[in-house]
Structure 1
Amino acid sequence: MGIFRRRAKEPPADADLLAADDDLDDAAAEQTAGDDDPSEMEGTLSRLHGPFDRDEVDDSDGYIDLGGLWVPEVDGMQLRLEVDKTGQQVMGVQLVLDDSVVQLQAFAAPRTQGVWEQLRTEISQSVLAQGGAVDVSDGPFGKQLEARLPNGTRMRFLGIDGPRWFLRAVLSGAAATDGPGAAGILDVVRKVVVVRGSEAMAPRELLPLRVPVARDAGSDGADDGAAESTQPTEGDSSAVATSRSGKQRKAEDLKPFERGPEITEVR
């Protein structure tokens, strides 16, 4: 249910924070992100110092490889992978550093235009419809959306348009404002690498993520194509797992403050 999702048979509930109409105009719905003519991305200037595209970095040394995203290794940073209700797809990454939290999702986008401008409007309308307040301001990567939820919670939405991809970062905790507490987690976001891949994907389709392979695993088990699973904690009926699949799936909404099955790693 939400801005990034596959079409649901049932309409989204009013209580969903990020619920928004996912109908694209006919032209956008028919095109795929791999079929557009090349052009300059509007968001290029805003990411001169990151986040980066895979083609802009040499290798994954110093990164945690999550498939569609490479996250920098940072001492004391906690990494959580959020999975869908079936436990079969990793939907997003949550990073916790000091008193700040950032939630990351990456999506396919057309070559010829970014999606952040339109998405800001959709998020704003959704927050306002729920009785919250929003403000568009200048942020570290261009225009950002500062939101206050009806319960008083503050959060900050950042959007970065890259070559055929879009990265959304949702900041909370100390990073929800532009104060000094946001510096550390913003530095992490700047170092993130998006791995779009060459395959054709529909606009706003979630880039596939996977559970990282343990660094201390023996070479006998080091197979990039192998599926990796982590059993759920006791009391959690959902298996926490990820596997490679040929299916193209739209992302359901990843709710920033609703805890689901998680895989947690502390660096």
Structure 2
Amino acid sequence: MAIFSRGGRHARAEETPIPTAVESAATSGPYDVSDAPDGVQRLDLGSMQIPAVPGVEVRVQAGNEGVVQQVVLGEGPSTLQLIVVAAPRSEGIWDEVREEVGASLTSQGGQLQETEGPYGVELLARVPTPNGPVDLRIAGIDGPRWMVQAVFQGPVAITPSSAPLLGECLRGLVVDRGNEAKPVKEPLPLRLPKDVAAQGAAAQGSAAAAGEAEPPTEEPRRRPSPRPRS
């Protein structure tokens, strides 16, 4: 399911950025790294820092070099997939992305409607899968030169109070955009923490030494997209 189109009015790369201060501090996240409150334990994935919330499982899919391809948080039967992409300095892109997401879901036979949520206009969708229909709630949060796309799946998509810790994680999320010029909608780079990456490399080395076959690993995809988890 391709979500981020390279067409449209934001298709060109951003101009060389000039660092600027955020106009006002946010009272609730997702936060830009310049606004993030201190004293919070977070899992540092590079451009995305996820607050450590007891009761939430963080599932990270990464390639051989520790490049993170997908981040999914779990609370019971509900999940939250997080995607963070570059955005232009002048305006947010969620309105445009929302149209692309809606068109993609509809083309796959999904039932779709827009609703007002805590972050503005969101999408509610029921998408067919081989194991039956799946409910999704998709929110977009525009920040200073970035956008977070949050894809809730399962009971939380219909009843947010059924998995309140996932909402807490989204509100505490920190985005470190960096100062590099990037094409609009380009996923910001994510990586495993050094200690986790080192453990993974050691485990692979031990498996190779023991003559065990390792499963093939996908190359990192430049445009990750939320998929219903059947």
Q: TM-score, normalised by structure 2?
A: 0.80
Letter in 1 for 2:14: T
Change (3 A) 1:238 1:164: same
2:106 alignment partner, SS class: helix
Letter in 1 for 2:113: D
Partner of 1:159: 140
Partner of 2:11: 29
Corresponding position: 1:185 with 2:166: yes
Change (3 A) 1:35 1:80: same
Shift of 1:195: 0.7
Once residues 138 and 68 of structure 2 are traced to their aligned partners in structure 1, the CA distance between those partners, rounded to angstroms, is 21
Asked if the contact 1:87–1:241 (Cα under 8 Å) also holds between the matched residues in 2, the reply is no
Asked if the contact 1:106–1:166 (Cα under 8 Å) also holds between the matched residues in 2, the reply is yes
Partner of 2:180: 199
Shift of 1:48: 4.1
Letter in 1 for 2:137: R
What CA deviation, in whole Å up to 9, does each residue of 1:34-72 have, x standing for no partner?
54897999xx99x64111000002557411111111101
Q: Percent identity?
A: 32
Change (3 A) 1:39 1:73: closer
Partner of 1:211: 192
Give me the CA root mean square deviation. 3.3
- Show structure 2 runs of 5+ residues with no match: none
Asked if the contact 1:38–1:111 (Cα under 8 Å) also holds between the matched residues in 2, the reply is no
Letter in 1 for 2:72: Q
Partner of 1:222: none
Shift of 1:174: 2.1
Partner of 1:117: 95
- Show structure 1 runs of 5+ residues with no match: 5-21, 216-226, 243-248, 259-267
Asked if the contact 1:36–1:110 (Cα under 8 Å) also holds between the matched residues in 2, the reply is no
Moved more, 126-135 or 231-240: 231-240
1:28 alignment partner, SS class: coil
Change (3 A) 1:56 1:78: same
Corresponding position: 1:2 with 2:21: no
Shift of 1:129: 1.4
Q: TM-score, normalised by structure 1?
A: 0.70
Partner of 2:112: 134
